[in-house]
Every structure is written in structure tokens, then in C-alpha cells.
């Protein structure tokens, strides 16, 4: 059972199916944005109003449960319609004690991530849905104009379509709208694909993973994501150009295309932010942030810029955007405090785990020395002593004992070499990480492809951690995955070393297994991250990102 049997994999949806699913997802923004707005406004209003009373605790608990429940519904929608690796997440954490129940809501990541996603659906998703539904509808309206134009009433009792500068009141004129409608329909459908890609990545960044937090969805290829972003930018520019053409061809008065461009540019900015955070994770990891927090901050900045643009395009008098911007800043600040608190707790846990792992390794080394090399050296000394006693009386027996002792020396050296390799392989110190991984691949009974670009050379501790990540992944692929090929990629990108090992096995690797848990502790002790993606049927991908200085 390997990835060479394609029949066990469900094929990807066709483009028409993906377009329909994306359109349904956009339509779901209307009820979900309404529900999210009601929950967020009512929840925060009651929380602030009752903040100095004990009633705030049940309100906060109910508020958190409602937010997480809506986030779970959104996760199921993103999974079923967009193919994102999201789903119903874990329940909001509960704590013992009356006041601690309320505090647990604000310290739980699901509350903040779901809230950020719901806010995006309200501020970005709702206008985006209106545009993405209206554009194909306008295209269909133009295509069917020869049928329905005669039933559109006009002033004066006639029938036709009045564009202000053009009166459509004949079959010939209505037929001219058909190619325009087809072009608009194609453009509207084309916009659905980058929209699906955008919301799929936002969902995977903010909503719970269907496979668990340690098994994120397999990311889309970089080239595919870049094409989606370029297509989105091109469609946005085309829509703005069409709006300008209509404005020039009609009144040339009030510049209404601004209101068309503003939400489209805001949506494109969020798409670009998602792509930037996906392709350059060091931008937020080296600042101690999570991707959810970085997304929250970036979207808050986009929303603030939109509000300032609305103010600049309207009154330019009292600067009212300062109040919603202040609210966004306070919520983002609270999110940052929660992330920092959780990071401190995580580092304390990692430090404790590292100490335990170090003691375990020392006991293993002590046991291996005692049962292996030490026992062989004791036997070697006894054989040499017996050989010395028999040297004159029984030369042949003494010679046999010396031969046996020589073989024992070779066995002891091999065991010591294996022991040293388990601590830090000599080839790693002598020739570097790339050569050590190639030597490791040569000893693996699978076809292994290695791509290594690790210059400048990382620190010794980083090289050792990366080596054992690859070693554990290769061992699992050979023993448990029923794989036939493994691809290893090591890449130095700025202040981080990325390690990725992908096999074509049957999947369902256990991220909580003893081997991967030990590797995770080793990586997290260096303030790195380790993720495992292993859906049923494969492929299994182990990714590690290790900080290694600038």
C-alpha cells in the first residue's frame, strides 16, 4: 500500500465544481457574517457593561462558547466547500473555580482565532461575497438580455434597458449585451478561484485543524499560490479599469469608482498578507508571534486603513476612525498578551521536557556503555589474561584467544562508533549537514532524494537537531509507512533552517509517538517548530524550522 496506487486517492474537484463550491461559500458569508456580528457586538457589549460585576463570568463563558461554536461551523464550511484542512475544533477550555472559568475563555486560543475569523467574515467576507455573487449574476443578466429586455419597463410606457447614454429597446441592441455578459461572467467565475484559495488559507491559519493541531493540512505549492495572487491582482485591476471606463463614458462627475476599488483593494491586501505570512514565516516567528496573531494584526491594519480612506473620501472633519482603530488596537493588544503568556508557559514546559530528555539520553548512554562496550572490554581483558597464561604451555590456544580478543576489539569499536553516532555523527562534524544527510540516505533501504542548501553553515546544535529529524523520519518511513521513496529537502532561508522529509507511504503517522515526541522536544528546545502532516493514504511530511541566527 503505497502512493503508487492512485486508485485509493479521491481526485481533486474539477474547476466547475470548485467554482460552484466557492460561490456557495461566498453565499454562506451573508448568514454567517450576520450571526458573527450579532455575537461579537452583543458579547463584547455585555462583557464591558458587566465587567465590574460577578455576572460577567457567565456572560464571558457563554460568549466564548458561542464564538467557538460559530468558528466550528465556519471550519466545517471551509472543509466541505473549499477543501481546507479545518473542522469542528476542541471545546473552549474550562477551569475550576468561578472566576477562573471566565479567565480560561480569554486565555484559550480557540476564542481569539475564531473571533478573528468571524471579524474577517464580517468586514471582508460580506462585501467580498456581494461582489463575487453580483459579478456572475450581472454576466448572466447580460447574456439573457435578448429574452428579458422587452419586459423591463421604462418611463413613458415603453420597454427596454436604459443605461443613461444608451437605450436598449430592440433585439439587435440587446444581442450586443451577450458578449459583454459572457466576458463579465468569465471574469466573475475567474475571481472565485483566488477567493477560494484565500479563504482556504485564512481558515487553515485561524480555525482548528480537522486532523489536529499537530497535523496541519498539506500546503498548496508556492507557484500555485503565487498564480492565485497574481490572478486576484489582475482581476482587481480589471474591475477598477471597467469602473473607470463606465465613469468616463457617463457623467464624469462624482468619482464613485473609489467605492468599487476600496473593498477590492482591501480584499487583495488581505490575500497578499496571507501569502506573505505563509511564504515567510520567519517574519512573525522571530518576533515571538503566532501566525494567527500576525494575521490579526495585519487585518486590523487593513481595516484601519479602510476606515481612514472612508473618512478622507467623505467629511474630512471630525476624525471618527480613531475610535474603531482604538478598539482594534485594544483587542489586538489583548491577543498579544495572551500569546506572550502562552509562549512563556510553553517555554517552561519545553525546558522541563528538555531536561527530562537529556537525563533519558544520559541513562541510555550509560546503559549502552555498561551492556555493550564495557562488557566487551572486560571480556577482552580476560581473554588476553588467559592467553598470557597459555602462551608457553599451549601456543595454539593462546593464539586463538588473541584472535578472539582482536575480534572483540573490532566489535567494541563498532559499538562505540554507533554510540557516538547517536550523540553527534562524526561525518556531521567533519563534512557538514548536507554530507551527513547523504550518508544517512545511503544507509536507508529506500530510494531517497536529497536536496540541501544550508550555506552559511548553521550552529552545531542546529545541525544535530536537523540530522536527527531526518533520521527519525527516514526510520519511520522504512519501518512503518510502507514507503518506496523519500524526498529530503534542507534549505537555509535567512535566520532559519527548514527541514522537510516527505515519503509516499500510507500515512496516518502518529505525531505523539515516542520517536517524534523526542525529536519535537529536541527541536523546541532550540525555539524551533516541528509539524507532521500525515493524512490517510499519504503522503507523510515532517517539517521542522530551526532558528540559526542571521
% of the chain at pLDDT higher than 90 = 5
Cβ–Cβ under 8 Å, residues 405 and 391? no
| pLDDT higher than threshold 50 for residue 3 | no
Q: Look over the chain and give the mean of its residue pLDDT values, rounded to a whole number.
A: 78
Q: What element of type H or E holds 51?
A: none
CA atoms within 13 A on the CB side of 463: 24
CATH class of the region 431-547:
alpha beta
- How far, in Å, CA of 108 to CA of 95, rounded? 11
Cα three-residue angle 102-108-110, rounded to 5 degrees = 120
Greater confidence (343 vs 269) lies with 269
Identify the band that residue 96 occupies on the pLDDT scale cut at 50, 70 and 90: low
List alpha helices for 369-394, DSSP H: 374-390
Contacts 24+ apart (CB under 8 A), 399-405: 405/380
- Between 268-272, 411-415, 434-438, 470-474, the lowest mean confidence (pLDDT) is in 411-415
- For helices 291-313 and 257-279, the axis angle rounded to 10 degrees is 160
CATH number at 349-423:
1.20.5
| pLDDT higher than threshold 60 for residue 156 | no
User: For residue 405, what pLDDT is reported?
Assistant: 74
User: For residue 211, what pLDDT is reported?
Assistant: 46
pLDDT in tens, 127-143: 888 888 988 888 888 88
- How far, in Å, CA of 513 to CA of 235, rounded? 47
pTM of the full predicted structure? 0.51
- Give the residue-averaged pLDDT of 483-511: 87
How many CB atoms lie under 10 A from the CB of residue 397? 14
List alpha helices for 121-256, DSSP H: 126-143, 145-148, 171-175, 177-206, 222-249
CA atoms within 13 A on the CB side of 45: 6
- Between 275-284, 486-495, 521-530, the lowest mean confidence (pLDDT) is in 275-284
Cβ–Cβ under 8 Å, residues 145 and 177? yes
Cβ–Cβ under 8 Å, residues 542 and 501? yes
Nearest Cα to 496, choosing from 534, 468, 440, 458? 458
| pLDDT higher than threshold 50 for residue 8 | no
Number of helices (H), then strands (E), belonging to the chain: the values are: 19, 7
| pLDDT higher than threshold 60 for residue 221 | no
User: For residue 31, what pLDDT is reported?
Assistant: 92
% of the chain at pLDDT higher than 70 = 80
Cβ–Cβ under 8 Å, residues 75 and 207? yes
User: For residue 162, what pLDDT is reported?
Assistant: 66
| pLDDT higher than threshold 60 for residue 244 | yes
Identify the band that residue 38 occupies on the pLDDT scale cut at 50, 70 and 90: very high
pLDDT in tens, 331-385: 888 888 888 887 777 677 766 666 666 666 667 666 666 666 666 676 677 767 7
User: For residue 417, what pLDDT is reported?
Assistant: 66
User: For residue 281, what pLDDT is reported?
Assistant: 74
Cβ burial of 281 (10 Å; 0-12, 13-18, 19+) is middle
User: For residue 230, what pLDDT is reported?
Assistant: 81
- Give the residue-averaged pLDDT of 206-220: 52
User: For residue 419, what pLDDT is reported?
Assistant: 60
Greater confidence (211 vs 299) lies with 299
**Residues forming beta bridges with residue 49, ordered by sequence position:** none
Phi, psi of 257 (to 5 degrees): -55, -15
User: For residue 25, what pLDDT is reported?
Assistant: 92
For residues 356, 362, 365, 367, the Cα torsion angle rounded to the nearest 10 degrees is -80
- Give the residue-averaged pLDDT of 159-186: 77
C-alpha 52, offset from chain centre = 39
User: All 3 cell numbers of residue 112?
Assistant: 481569539
| pLDDT higher than threshold 50 for residue 6 | no
* Domain layout of the chain by residue ranges: 15-320, 349-423, 431-547
- Give the residue-averaged pLDDT of 54-71: 87
- How far, in Å, CA of 453 to CA of 149, rounded? 64
Cβ–Cβ under 8 Å, residues 364 and 328? no
Identify the band that residue 215 occupies on the pLDDT scale cut at 50, 70 and 90: very low
User: For residue 519, what pLDDT is reported?
Assistant: 84
- Between 48-52, 312-316, 450-454, the lowest mean confidence (pLDDT) is in 48-52
Greater confidence (387 vs 489) lies with 489
Which residues, 6 or more positions from 150, have their beta carbon under 8 angstroms from its beta carbon? Answer: 159, 160
- How far, in Å, CA of 522 to CA of 518, rounded? 6
Cβ–Cβ under 8 Å, residues 509 and 476? yes
Cβ–Cβ under 8 Å, residues 168 and 101? no
User: For residue 157, what pLDDT is reported?
Assistant: 55
**Residues forming beta bridges with residue 161, ordered by sequence position:** 168
| pLDDT higher than threshold 60 for residue 144 | yes
Cβ–Cβ under 8 Å, residues 86 and 205? no
User: All 3 cell numbers of residue 128?
Assistant: 467580498
Greater confidence (187 vs 282) lies with 187
- How far, in Å, CA of 98 to CA of 538, rounded? 45
| pLDDT higher than threshold 70 for residue 478 | yes
In our burial notation (b when 16+ CB lie closer than 10 A, e otherwise), range 328-337 reads beebbeebbe
User: For residue 24, what pLDDT is reported?
Assistant: 92
Nearest Cα to 310, choosing from 356, 261, 267, 347? 261
Cβ–Cβ under 8 Å, residues 24 and 81? yes
- Give the residue-averaged pLDDT of 243-259: 79
- Give the residue-averaged pLDDT of 270-298: 79
**Residues forming beta bridges with residue 155, ordered by sequence position:** none
- How far, in Å, CA of 18 to CA of 3, rounded? 24
User: For residue 428, what pLDDT is reported?
Assistant: 77
| pLDDT higher than threshold 80 for residue 445 | yes
| pLDDT higher than threshold 80 for residue 471 | yes
Nearest Cα to 469, choosing from 446, 485, 484, 486? 486
List C-alpha distances in Å: 300 to 77, 307, 437. 24, 11, 43
Amino acid at each position: 500500500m503505497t502512493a503508487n496506487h492512485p486508485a485509493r486517492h479521491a481526485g481533486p474537484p474539477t474547476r466547475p465544481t470548485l467554482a460552484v463550491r466557492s460561490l456557495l461559500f461566498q453565499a454562506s458569508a451573508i448568514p454567517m457574517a450576520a450571526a458573527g456580528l450579532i455575537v461579537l457586538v452583543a458579547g463584547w457589549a455585555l462583557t464591558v457593561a458587566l465587567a465590574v460585576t460577578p455576572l460577567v463570568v457567565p456572560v464571558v463563558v457563554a460568549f466564548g462558547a458561542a464564538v467557538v461554536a460559530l468558528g466550528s461551523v465556519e471550519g466545517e464550511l471551509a472543509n466541505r466547500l473549499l477543501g481546507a484542512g479545518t473542522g469542528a475544533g476542541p471545546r473552549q477550555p474550562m477551569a475550576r473555580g468561578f472566576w477562573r472559568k471566565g479567565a480560561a475563555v480569554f486565555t484559550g486560543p480557540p476564542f481569539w482565532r475564531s473571533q478573528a475569523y468571524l471579524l474577517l467574515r464580517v468586514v471582508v467576507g460580506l462585501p467580498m461575497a456581494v461582489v463575487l455573487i453580483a459579478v456572475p449574476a450581472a454576466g448572466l443578466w447580460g447574456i439573457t438580455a435578448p429574452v428579458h429586455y422587452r419586459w423591463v419597463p421604462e418611463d413613458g410606457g415603453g420597454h427596454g434597458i436604459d443605461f443613461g447614454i444608451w437605450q436598449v429597446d430592440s433585439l439587435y441592441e440587446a444581442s450586443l449585451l451577450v458578449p459583454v455578459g459572457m466576458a463579465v461572467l468569465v471574469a466573475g467565475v475567474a475571481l472565485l478561484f483566488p477567493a477560494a484559495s484565500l479563504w482556504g488559507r485564512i481558515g487553515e491559519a485561524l480555525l482548528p485543524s480537522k486532523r489536529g493541531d499537530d497535523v496541519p493540512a498539506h500546503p498548496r505549492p508556492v507557484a500555485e499560490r503565487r498564480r492565485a495572487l497574481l490572478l486576484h491582482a489582475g482581476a482587481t485591476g480589471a474591475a477598477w479599469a471597467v469602473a473607470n471606463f463606465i465613469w468616463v463614458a457617463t457623467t464624469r462627475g462624482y468619482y464613485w469608482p473609489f467605492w468599487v476599488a476600496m473593498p477590492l483593494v482591501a480584499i487583495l491586501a488581505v490575500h497578499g498578507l496571507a501569502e506573505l505570512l505563509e511564504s515567510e514565516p520567519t517574519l512573525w516567528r522571530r518576533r515571538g508571534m503566532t501566525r494567527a496573531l500576525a494575521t490579526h494584526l495585519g487585518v486590523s491594519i487593513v481595516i484601519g486603513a479602510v476606515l481612514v480612506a472612508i473618512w478622507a473620501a467623505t467629511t474630512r472633519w471630525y476624525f471618527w476612525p480613531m475610535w474603531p482603530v482604538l478598539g482594534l488596537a485594544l483587542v489586538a493588544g489583548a491577543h498579544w498578551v495572551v500569546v506572550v503568556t502562552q509562549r512563556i508557559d510553553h517555554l517552561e514546559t519545553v525546558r522541563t521536557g528538555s531536561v527530562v530528555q537529556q537525563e533519558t539520553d544520559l541513562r541510555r548512554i550509560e546503559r549502552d556503555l555498561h551492556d555493550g562496550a564495557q562488557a566487551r572490554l572486560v571480556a577482552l581483558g580476560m581473554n588476553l589474561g588467559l592467553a598470557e597464561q597459555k602462551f608457553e604451555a599451549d601456543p595454539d590456544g593462546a593464539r586463538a584467544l588473541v584472535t578472539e580478543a582482536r575480534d572483540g576489539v573490532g566489535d567494541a569499536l563498532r559499538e562505540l562508533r554507533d554510540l557516538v553516532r547517536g550523540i553527534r555523527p562524526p561525518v556531521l562534524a567533519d563534512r557538514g549537514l548536507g554530507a551527513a544527510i547523504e550518508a544517512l540516505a545511503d544507509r536507508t533501504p529506500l530510494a531517497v532524494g536529497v536536496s540541501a542548501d544550508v550555506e552559511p553553515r548553521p550552529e552545531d546544535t542546529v545541525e544535530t537537531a536537523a540530522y536527527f529529524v531526518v533520521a527519525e523520519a527516514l526510520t519511520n518511513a522504512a519501518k512503518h509507512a510502507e514507503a518506496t521513496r523519500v524526498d529530503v529537502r534542507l534549505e537555509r532561508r535567512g535566520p532559519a533552517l527548514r527541514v522537510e522529509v516527505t515519503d509516499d507511504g500510507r500515512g496516518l503517522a502518529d505525531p505523539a509517538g515516542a520517536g517524534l515526541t523526542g525529536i519535537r522536544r529536541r527541536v523546541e528546545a532550540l525555539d524551533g517548530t516541528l509539524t507532521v502532516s500525515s493524512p490517510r493514504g499519504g503522503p507523510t511530511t515532517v517539517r521542522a524550522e530551526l532558528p540559526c541566527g542571521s
